[in-house]
Amino acid sequence: MTSFIIKIIASICMLLDHFGTIFPAFGVSEIFRLIGRISLPIYAYMIAQGCRYTKNIDKYILRLGVFAIISEIPYDLTFYNYLGNQFTVNYFNDTNVFYTLFLGASCITIYEKLKTKQHLWVASLLLLLTSMLEFIISGFEGINSRLFISIILCIYLATMLGISKVMPERENTSKNVVFYNILAFIPLLPILNLANLLRTDYRMQGVVYILLFYFIKPTNKIARSIVMTAIITYHYAYPYIYSKTGGFLLSPPPVRGMFYDSNLNNFFFALLAVILIFIYNDKQGPKVKWIFYIFYPAHIAILGVIQFFLRDFSLK
């Protein structure tokens, strides 16, 4: 099974998920929402693969960023304005899954560039200054501190993408590899926090999905299936068991899953993604990448228009 076929399946699962969310009155909301759990693990794995094999990582993250901005318009109008007549778009709150994919790819890009650079103290200084600004702003009353901190972290992200590209390379990149790899990872932490502040789809957890698939680098079908199973288990089953046992014999999960109080059906449906990744043959298939980029905002816009006319009809 090629990546083309797997992406089609993931897109259909996402479509059903969104249909169930927007039209709960049709009586299929619960099952469609469960089917939707299949899509994120697949997209996260494919983004990690895309970062590894793309010919131009800068263009890759630029495409993700552009479609994140474009998609926010139908996303907000469909999911967050359908109860009233306020048609507004907020780029800093409850953002779409392209934000998650963009932040994951950006983290990978920054990490890969920084780990071979000189003068990593520059990145550390930028991290320190950003953290100080976050602390100062969070202490102010009467302002939307989350919005201001989100803007600061967006500037931090853009700056980090820039300096990681222009900083000079180290002369001996084979020396102290572990030390530089750890040092290059630390500047990613504010970007993970940004995913939570922007309330991206799946928030920080979605970005962590992408990073784990990238860093672990599973080399065969069995390895990648084990990795995906472990990630899905951590996301769904572990928080569920913790909540049901009252924390007995378990410590709190460091990152809460999106469906912390849900049942294990989410977990079992998400595991279906493991089967798809196992039978994936590492081949691309037809080169129609733009279809999958366009499909996301397009299908949300179409569902939103249908929703608008159905609501207008019901009010008459």
**What is the maximum span of the chain, computed from C-alpha positions, in angstroms?**
73
Angle, in degrees to the nearest 10, between helices 39-53 and 97-114: 30
Q: Read off the pLDDT band of 240 (50, 70, 90).
A: low
Highest mean pLDDT among 55-59, 99-103, 180-184, 201-205: 99-103
Residue 85 pLDDT > 90, yes or no?
A: no
Residue 180 pLDDT > 70, yes or no?
A: yes
- pLDDT at 236 (0 to 100): 81
Residue 47 pLDDT > 80, yes or no?
A: yes
- Mean confidence (pLDDT) of the chain: 87
Highest mean pLDDT among 140-144, 202-206, 301-305: 301-305
Q: How many CA atoms lie within 13 A of 274 on its CB side?
A: 17
Tell me the pLDDT tens digit for each residue of 184-213.
999 999 999 999 999 999 888 899 999 999
Residue 266 pLDDT > 50, yes or no?
A: yes
